[in-house]
Structure 1
């Protein structure tokens, strides 16, 4: 962990009256020279922002505060890594910015940027933020300052929610259906958006709360953004499926009179992703393969492991093929880079950090080093590019967890040591470890001693085991919270800070009640096969109930037929097929199927919905619904 980058232990002394941690690579003396490029680029082209900084939903509830990070100015306090503080002084800016002739960005209205291109008749929007409310506020600002125009097209650069979730805030589905607005995405977009946001949505939402610090208030002792932006807006996630997809690098489209060329970079930051060369404006959108920070090969919230080697190749292609055609390089997070030479150098520097991470991890992996050993070695000897380029530093991803992700990409979780092949689960192991150490009091004393010596990593290891073994031990929880707080205040990575501080908050205040839920709009937009596969992940075979029957489904609004086969241990859905002798048949619009599978609405209630008929044995259909888990709404992480 990059825990130093902290001035003579001031963070820990002020926050915890505890000794400072030992210095490691990334301390202030090793930081690149400041220069003025980032400060200038982050504010260049500013036009205007909202007078009222609070964006609210239809009920009047705040979903975003543009000024939440206005406190970031002057020297870094002792509770924030100075490098991260400096980074946030640039990320905090918000409003409408001109970046090239006919191209603007709205920045600071969410964790991501909205890029706006002037077409012949309307606006072309790239990445409409995370929420409907934030996207609408951003477009209202654009129309106010640049003149009102309809939206002629929306482009989703990739399959993450902060790049499509606000779409209904900028365009209506009726305009898309009527052909007045196009929705363009990379090939495979819907499958990957489903996989991440629905299939594994429950676990990712809970883990994302740690990664983005959604339960923490912004402040010098709290959340300091995400490393590539501020926090996540808390509004409504929406989705309108693409009307056109891009499959290959070099593919072009003329959209509302504007010529665009695409670079497919799928398998890097997202499984489905493209970059865009806006030809008339000589502007290259690097989407999210290049930002103001080292990114994640595997995000702490969880995702499919990304291909660092392919990432480096795509950055090389961008630097050689697209940067020479661009006077400006922009991304879907952070601020632009202006100038051909500057843009080429910026992309090349980021290419080099991913190439170094990949090659050095694989080199050491093939020498027999484990992921932990590799991460420690690479962190202790970062590449020379880190001494001259701020954008390769670990404000979001880190050398440590990225090296482990590359190891996992090739070899998986197992390090080939048989003791790690089948260990006890965490709670059992914790109890045995605490007993072996001499009991709870001695383990607590050892943890406190480790903190006093400045070894917070070992302290957390010991104390987390004690908390898992004795979750009611208040002294253990308090000590572990202090250890996590110390590491959070020292972290250069904003998302490491968020995870440590979120854990400390859970220990001392309890897990916050989760209001997170799956987006109904997202679920409604996905393909029926993906829907049935997602519902199958809710099937609980251990529950009592009848097995070995089938349900027929006739979706009248989609003109689709499907079936669900309930076996002993699995539930299998098939689209385009009907069982020969179904136990029951559901006929009606797809919202009825959604109500059954995801809301677990009683069958008799669904039967009363307009256009719905249920034939056969309703009790068998209800038996299926009773064997599905409710949609997940959070779980403990640092407590058993």
Structure 2
């Protein structure tokens, strides 16, 4: 039986799918691991306990059924994701993949419907995250309904073929990242009336706001972090470390009616007792875990995972507090010490009280070690790059697969801790006001004796397997001479070998995406935030004025720019917008405010305008829009706001 998920859009910046593109066969033939890379990967094989198959046993335990095939295609028929694309992961690790990452990718490819214990079931591999079903007295309690409506519907339909067909009696969102709520509308066929929708305090605000202000830049960088343009093969994308690719299509959200704001909160949901732990500002700004006393089962959400997670994500987010995160894990370890089952929002469960306690201890200490040792080194005068080069996990954690850097990494997480305390400045005055790369590049090339000499030096470094130094030098040359294809190709080769050695899925995807763009040029494969419209419709209107303020073309503003009023007709909300000192301000409209024009507009059309789905000039005669006052001033006002370039350069000036 083949399950097709038809997509109607792309994903949010929070996550990005890896899409198939037409393979360049000549390039695939040349994508080989160098001798240095092969030696580095063999060293990993000798370091870690690959003979321990416990994770594979746990990942397969309780399998009820798996679909014969699982495909994700776009509305236009474009293939975006399918489990069969990862068939190459069968067998021993390829020379072009870090064997530790290969192992994690194999584990994340184990998919289907699983029984965690009687009354608790998981759908794994239908998306990047897990959907959990808990059997209540009258129906199913759904935890984290995947990323997209289409993937969630296929998952729940598949589950109902193999489990008792009952209505959905409650929904639980463990945290505010889209891969844990975006598919909720795919459950509509099974929803009972007036069900509890449970989420951590602050969920809706965080779920709808993350991508509004910096979403364009985060989306572009997410295409690198998740390898959106890479082929799925041993020379390309093998997985994110957190899961496989994600099935992104139509996104939605439902407003919670039960909010958890205190640890220890007890609720009975469809006859099932829950004990909640409130863990804000850990892996997500709004997050919670829960415990099922009758099952002795702990849902760790994404507070803990079968990988080192990100204190900072390469796509760009605010730095997460490692010390607070570690403390929450310790709290869960003590509160739910009698748990015999652990399951999470990603990866596979753990059974056994002692095994769970050991896992929680290792997760707790991984984040606290990174925090404590980074701060120790910075207090001794080391700067971010020096700490990242120095810090190593102790053997007890380094040889633990769940503490390995498959998604986060030790190096960039230590930099995150440094940034949290010390910021971007490392104390060296030479770095206080440095020249930008576009200005220094040509000077470095000249200092090296010209492009030809620099190329010779970098070729030597590359031949010696010194890929980081080769990339450092070649980056200057490419920024000085962006059309120098010889330099671009050698830089791409250097990035490729670094990608082949990377244990972190995102690091691998970043390196290989950069290599692909250097060789082939940019592809228009960005993630369009406009496809989040149904989610953003739940965001407070004021959030969109904040997004307008960071799109103001300040250099085009006149000192006497007129103020405007906006009336959101179907929400009966009125706002006053004015520009002062080339800064946009907003607040609720007051009776004595003076403005050149008032725009009355429906909420949906207003969101469409700000997302670029509709233009002001194109909608002036719509029944959902009217203008009182100077139409010319209104059009002039809105012309001051730009639509940013969603496909900006990264590896070239």
Q: TM-score, normalised by structure 1?
A: 0.93
Report deviation, 1:345.
0.7
Partner of 1:431: 442
Provide the C-alpha distance between the structure 2 equivalents of 1:147 and 1:60, rounded to a whole number of angstroms.
33
Provide the C-alpha distance between the structure 1 equivalents of 2:470 and 2:596, rounded to a whole number of angstroms.
58
2:363 pairs, out of 340, 350, 359, with: 350
Deviates more, 1:506-515 or 1:51-60: 51-60
2:256 pairs, out of 242, 245, 248, with: 242
Partner of 1:635: 648
Whether 2:245 is the aligned partner of 1:228: answer: no
Output the aligned Cα RMSD: 2.4
The 3-state SS of whatever aligns with 1:549 is: coil
Kept in 2: contact 1:18–1:452 (CA 8 A): no
Report deviation, 1:515.
4.8
Provide the C-alpha distance between the structure 1 equivalents of 2:149 and 2:583, rounded to a whole number of angstroms.
37
Partner of 2:5: none
Provide the C-alpha distance between the structure 2 equivalents of 1:411 and 1:465, rounded to a whole number of angstroms.
27
Partner of 2:130: 113
Correspondence list, 1:547-626, <5 A: 547-575=560-588, 577=590, 580-599=593-612, 601-626=614-639
CA 393–61 in structure 1, closer or farther in 2 if over 3 Å, else same: same
The 3-state SS of whatever aligns with 1:347 is: helix
Deviates more, 1:577-586 or 1:393-402: 577-586
Report deviation, 1:629.
1.3
Q: Deviations over 1:64-117 (max 9, x none)?
A: 312221221111111111111122221101111111221111111111111111
Partner of 1:6: none
Partner of 1:15: 32
Report deviation, 1:358.
0.9
Provide the C-alpha distance between the structure 1 equivalents of 2:157 and 2:323, rounded to a whole number of angstroms.
41
Structure 2 segments unaligned to the other structure (5+ residues) = 1-27
Whether 2:533 is the aligned partner of 1:533: answer: no
CA 21–41 in structure 1, closer or farther in 2 if over 3 Å, else same: closer
Report deviation, 1:607.
3.2
Kept in 2: contact 1:596–1:606 (CA 8 A): no
Partner of 2:277: 263
Provide the C-alpha distance between the structure 2 equivalents of 1:22 and 1:341, rounded to a whole number of angstroms.
37
Kept in 2: contact 1:128–1:135 (CA 8 A): yes
1:279 pairs, out of 284, 287, 293, with: 293
Whether 2:375 is the aligned partner of 1:362: answer: yes
Partner of 1:390: 401
The 3-state SS of whatever aligns with 1:15 is: coil
Partner of 1:4: none
Partner of 1:99: 116
Kept in 2: contact 1:194–1:530 (CA 8 A): no
CA 26–270 in structure 1, closer or farther in 2 if over 3 Å, else same: farther
Whether 2:333 is the aligned partner of 1:316: answer: no
Partner of 1:7: none
Kept in 2: contact 1:371–1:403 (CA 8 A): yes
Kept in 2: contact 1:269–1:289 (CA 8 A): yes
Deviates more, 1:260-269 or 1:219-228: 260-269
1:207 pairs, out of 221, 228, 234, with: 221
Whether 2:498 is the aligned partner of 1:487: answer: yes
Report deviation, 1:567.
3.0
The 3-state SS of whatever aligns with 1:296 is: coil
CA 366–544 in structure 1, closer or farther in 2 if over 3 Å, else same: closer
Q: TM-score, normalised by structure 2?
A: 0.91
Q: Deviations over 1:218-256 (max 9, x none)?
A: 111110100110122232222233233211111122222
Provide the C-alpha distance between the structure 2 equivalents of 1:354 and 1:443, rounded to a whole number of angstroms.
41
Deviates more, 1:23-32 or 1:578-587: 23-32
The 3-state SS of whatever aligns with 2:577 is: strand
Whether 2:453 is the aligned partner of 1:442: answer: yes
Q: Deviations over 1:165-202 (max 9, x none)?
A: 11211238x979xx623332211223323442222211
The 3-state SS of whatever aligns with 2:88 is: coil
Kept in 1: contact 2:41–2:98 (CA 8 A): no
Correspondence list, 1:139-218, <5 A: 139-171=156-188, 180-218=194-232
CA 269–440 in structure 1, closer or farther in 2 if over 3 Å, else same: same
